[in-house]
Structure formats: structure tokens, C-alpha cells
Amino acid sequence: MELYEHMNSNGIPSSDPSLLACLSEDRIKRFHVDGDKRGSRNGWAVLHTTPQGKQLVNYGTWKGASPSDGFTWVESGGELTTEDHKFLQAKRKRVEARMEALRPRRKKAVKQLLSTLSPEPGDHPYLKSKGVGLPPNHGLLRGREHLVVPVYQDEEVESYQKIKRGFKGYASGRGALKVSGGYHILNAPKVPGGDIVVAEGLATALSVGEMLEWKTPVAVAFSAHALSEVVGKMKAQGYSRVLVAGDNDLPDSRGHRAGQEAAMQAKEKHGAVPVIAPEEGKDWNDYHQAYGLEEARKSWAGILEKATKEKTSLLHEVKSKAFQGDIRRSLSRHDLWHGTFESAKWVVEGLIPQAGLTVLASPPKRGKSWLALQLAIAVESGAPFLGMNTTKGKVVYYALEDTERRLVERVHGLHPQGRPVGLPHCELTIPRLDQGGLEALVSMIEEEKPSLIILDTWSKIKGSPERGLNAYEADYRLVAPLKALADVAGVAILLVTHLNKHHRGLDDIESITGSMGLPGAADALLFLKRDEHEGSAKLARDGRDFSDTEPLVLKWDSPGWRIAEQHEQRDVVMESLTEFQTVILGVLEEYAGFEGMTPKEVSDYLTQGEADEEKKQKHRAKVKLDMPRMEKKGVLLKMSRGKYLPSVVEREENLDTDDTFDTDDTGDTFDTFAPERPRYQAVSRCI
């Protein structure tokens, strides 16, 4: 596929004839994207040559219709390999490091230049062409011909935008100065707080400010792609609510509407309130100029009221359920007997209920995040997960302990043969539940409508406990909003957490970090148990609607988990036995017959000839403790009168020998049990 054809397929069509001719190694080439405003150059492309001589072109658009790292074309229509990914990532890191080294010097030069300019008086031709004035505290400057907008990063000047009619540009050497995510606040208060509006572009910001009579500060973001990042910075500075004055862009060739998508992303990630311009193809400045200031004000107020109601209705219901309990519900005597209800529905059959809170617990570094990622891909693809059917649906995976690089490498490791049918939407950050995280989840659900949300891990989003509550009450109230959100929105939430450091020997539920409040709130519980460096694990499961709670035996497939084959499952169980438990099993396999043996009988057999009564008591206590544990592992079956039998007996001896006898009636043959104990003489070493 040729470069232009590849660009067109990714929604960035261009007929700019100079693009191919001007591409050069490691230098960004800007170009016009078909369908954008005449004279604009929102597209970017850069040429890379791999050590093997393969040419790659990385490209995208600053209008926000492409991922942050763009798309990549491979010469001669080839496929992008894992090695190509690694090459581009390493190169990007080197470039970023070089830019970072240059930044202090370039920032100093920018500050010196801006200090020589005078404040903008408000009569610049660009402002007149847009029909806007300036607030008293605007911070804009006048160059020789240009209107100059200082660009801030983390409350410090980083660069500047220069504007004259028909042209917008940035400080020369833009590559060394961070403009993406930069902002400029118009009419900024002395202390951040209350509402703030974030708008794409200076003209839109000035129109919105006039519509609000400058009672609310307005932050300028310099591209649609940067809107969400700027919203996050405003929240971090202390503004309690952020409104996004979104552009109502026309769809590009791929159906993307950059302005609306950017506003919705800010809503999903940071709980912002999108206020999209009411007419297609217009931003708020266009609308202001077309219909006048008063009409624009009325439209803004109406859209904001509707957006606020939509945002708060689900949130209000979730908070009411979480903190005040359900509205009164009842079941009549008639319905208690005759009522019919739908059977339980599942995201993963027999594992994760379709609407409810599921907790997945495991010790650190045992593969639970791999399991969560496999689950996310399986549900997005509608593919079986650990041999169980899934209901296909959208998945949002909050990988809060991972990096972008690690996620990409894991997906490629799980699917080396090519891209899977479905991939989840991944988020790497979210505020804690009591600091805007619940609002962000509500906004995301309203926008994405996922069937499964994975939160990895609980420690990253858990809020602060209330004072005066015991541990159970505190933990229950902390997780209650997630349980309420799952119930009210009808979505499955998988909450990943850790087991206690000293979880061995504890009951599954007792081993979860914290009090019993977290498992008490959950609808389903999953426990991934794996010893360090072992290639197998057990996935224990329990829940309110579970008919089958048998643990699943898993094998690590380097990378990723799969369900163990039948012969592997027995091997895994046998490997998990202690040396002493193996001895007990051997005794039962050879001498239990069909009636079984009690722990006392096993202990008496093992201690034949032992004169020391104290040692006998130790044997008996250990056998009595271990045999129920072996039953729990599925190795033994408990019969009547406290007797146990092996669940599966595997014999190596040939049954075609004289060591059999016939019954009187049936002719069935049975193994004889010779009273020997050659393998168990050294049993005292196992205690």
C-alpha cells in the first residue's frame, strides 16, 4: 500500500504534492489535510530508517483524529513488526531526551523575548475579524505584526503562539518546546477554585468569556488533541468543575469529529462537562458571530443545563444507593412463591456476573494483571476465556500499575500471530474515588457504555477511610460506590486487589488485604493462587449466583494463562502436595481398600514400631490436619464415619497377576494389599 493510500485509509487524506518530496530523516514535515481549512497544515509526518534499511513514515494530525503517536506506514506495503515498534520507541525516547536537554535554554530565550513585548491593547486585526474583545486580565502581548499568546506548562511560560489573520505559528524551535498540553488562562483568579472553561483556540475562548460576562475564567487549549490534558491540569490546580467548550466539527473521512471526541474524552477521564456548540460545522466563536451574543448565551445556558442533568442523574442514583441504601423494595407473599425472574447472566459464564462487583485477589507479581488483560481482550473479541464462553462487549481496562510500553509489549506477547479481533480501551490514570474518580467512572460509562470495567488495582483508587468507623465498616463504605455503580448501571466491574503477605493457611476470604468489608460487598470472588516461579496456578471462585465453585487449574504459557489439560491438572495437584501429604496419599492408595481409612488409622500405620508416645501424637496431629487439606485440594474424598479415600488411584502394577481373588457371585477381581511398607520408613523426616 502506497503512503497516500495508507494515509487515506486512516482518515488523514492529503493531495499535498510536496509531502513525499520534502520528507527527510527525523525532521517533521507539516502538510495540508484534505477537508481542513484552506491554508492550514494540521498534518505532520516524519521519516525513519531502521538499522536494516527499512523506511517507515510516522504521521498524524494535530486536529485530534489520530493517536498521540500517530500511524506508521512501512515501505512496500509491509507490516510493522515488533522490532519496528521497539526501534520507534527507542528513537522517540532519544528525541525526547534531546528535547528535554534543550528546553531550559529555549525557555530562557522565550522569556527574554516576551519581556520585550507590550500588552495587547485589544485592537489587533485578528480580534476584529473574530468579533471579540479582551477581558481586563488577559495576558496577551503585541509583536510587530502578531498577536502573541504565552503558552504555559505547569504555571510557567514554556512557549508562545503568534497569530495574524490567516496564520498561526509557534516559537521557532517548537520541537524543543512543549506546546501540546500547554494553556493560557484568560481572566485568571488569584486563587484557583470554582468553575473554569477550557476552549480550543483563542477566538473560541474569548467568545465564551464574553458569553459568560467574564464571570468565569477561560483556559485556551491549543489543539483538540490537548483538551483532555489541559482539563486534567485545571483540576490539579484546584478548579472544582471544568466545562469544555467543544467544537461541533464536521466528520472527517473516517467519521471522526475531533472536537466532540476530545470533549468526551475529557468528560470520561476527568469528569468534565462538555458544552458542544449547537450547530454542526461551527465552534462557539462561529456561532457567536452568526447569531449574536445574546443568542449564544441562551444556547450555552440550555446546553449546559442539559449536560449537567445528564451527568448528575446516574451519579446521584449511585451515591444515593452507596451511602443511603436502596429505595424501599419489597416482595409480596404471592411473589415470594410464584415470582419468576431471569436466570443469572454472565460476562464470563460461571466466573464474572454481567451486573455486579467481582474481586480478583492474588499476591503481588503472580500474573493477575496478565489474567486481567487476557480477560479484557477475550470479552472485546467475544472469544472464550479459560475455556468459558463470554458475552462480547466493550471493555475499559484501568491498568493503574502499568506503563504504555508494558501494555503494548504484553498485547504483542499474547498475540504474536497478529492483532486480535477486539482490544480494550486502556486508561493508565484515574483520580481516587473520593477525589473525582467516581465522577470519572460515571462519565466514562455514559459515553462508552461498557459491559466490563477492570480496575487494577484497588489500592490505586481507594479513597480515604471515614473516621470513627471500625475496619469492616470503613472498607465496606469505601467500596460501596463501586458496588452501587455496578448495580445501577448494569455493568460488570472487576476489582483487582492483593492478598495478605501471610495468606498461607488462611481461608480464601480472610486472606484478602484489609478487613472483611471488601469481600462482604462483592458479588463474586476470584483467588489466583500461584507459588513464586511455579508454572501453574489455581483460580478459586465463589459467588452469590455460582452453581459450580470448583477451582480452575491454570498453566502459565509464557506469556499468559490457559486452562490446564486433564493430565496436567492432576500433575499440578500432585506437585502442590508436601512430602508428608504424598506419604499419606501413598498409604491410602495401597491400604485404604474401598472403605477408606481415618486419620487415626493412617497415623497408626505410619507409626508402627514407634515407641515414643510423644512422636506418635505429633504424627497423629499432623495427619489429622493434612487429610482435610488434601480433601480441599481434590486429592482425597471424605466418606462416612470420618474415613477418606484417594479421589483417583493410579496403579503401576500389572493387574494380570496372581495377586487377585474372585468374589463368590460376581466374578469381579480386586487388588490384594500386601502388608508391606517399604516406601515409608523415613516418614519421621517429613514432620
Give the cell for residue 40.
Answer: 492550514
With beta carbons less than 8 A apart as the criterion, state whether 59 and 70 touch. yes
> What is d(CA 556, CA 564) in angstroms, rounded to the nearest whole number?
9
Task: Summarize the confidence of residues 344-356 as an average pLDDT.
Answer: 90
CA atoms within 13 Å, Cβ hemisphere of 17: 0
CB pairs under 8 A, 24+ apart, for 259-263? 259/64, 259/200, 259/224, 259/283, 261/64, 261/65, 261/224, 262/64, 262/200, 262/224, 262/225, 262/227, 262/228, 263/227
Q: Which of 28-32, 115-119, 172-176, 668-672 has the lowest mean pLDDT?
A: 668-672
pLDDT of residue 276: 94
- The distance from CA 308 to its chain's CA centroid, rounded to whole angstroms, is 26
Q: Is 563 helix (H, G, I), strand (E, B) or coil?
A: strand
What burial class does residue 99 get, using C-beta atoms within 10 Å of its C-beta: 0-12 exposed, 13-18 middle, 19+ buried? middle
Output the DSSP codes for 305-361. HHHHHHHHHHHHHHHHHHHH-PPP----HHHHHH---PPP-EEETTTEESSEEEEEE
Task: Summarize the confidence of residues 65-92 as an average pLDDT.
Answer: 78
Task: Summarize the confidence of residues 302-323 as an average pLDDT.
Answer: 75
Which among 531, 524, 522, 647 has a CA at the least distance from the CA of 588?
647
Percent of the chain with pLDDT over 70: 86
pLDDT of residue 677: 37
pLDDT of residue 602: 92
Per-residue pLDDT for 669 more than 60?
no
Digit-coded pLDDT (tens) for 246-268 = 999 887 665 678 888 888 888 87
Backbone phi, then psi, for 449, in 5-degree steps?
Answer: 50, 60
pLDDT of residue 409: 93
Digit-coded pLDDT (tens) for 291-306 = 999 999 999 999 998 8
Per-residue pLDDT for 682 more than 50?
no
Q: What is the mean pLDDT of the chain?
A: 82
Please give the model's pTM, rounded to 2 decimal places: 0.50
Sheet strands (E) in 458-535: 492-498, 524-529
Task: Summarize the confidence of residues 567-586 as an average pLDDT.
Answer: 80
Q: One-letter amino acid identity for 194?
A: G
Domains of the chain from N-terminus onward: 3-80 (no CATH), 103-317 (3.40.1360.10), 346-571 (3.40.50.300), 577-686 (no CATH)
Question: How many residues does the structure list for the chain?
Answer: 687
Task: Summarize the confidence of residues 466-477 as an average pLDDT.
Answer: 84
Helices (H), 219-257: 227-237
> Scanning the structure block, which residue is given the C-alpha cell 490457559?
562
Of 532 and 510, more confident = 510
Task: Summarize the confidence of residues 650-668 as an average pLDDT.
Answer: 38
Digit-coded pLDDT (tens) for 383-416 = 999 989 999 999 999 999 999 999 999 999 999 8
Per-residue pLDDT for 203 more than 80?
yes
Task: Summarize the confidence of residues 641-655 as an average pLDDT.
Answer: 63
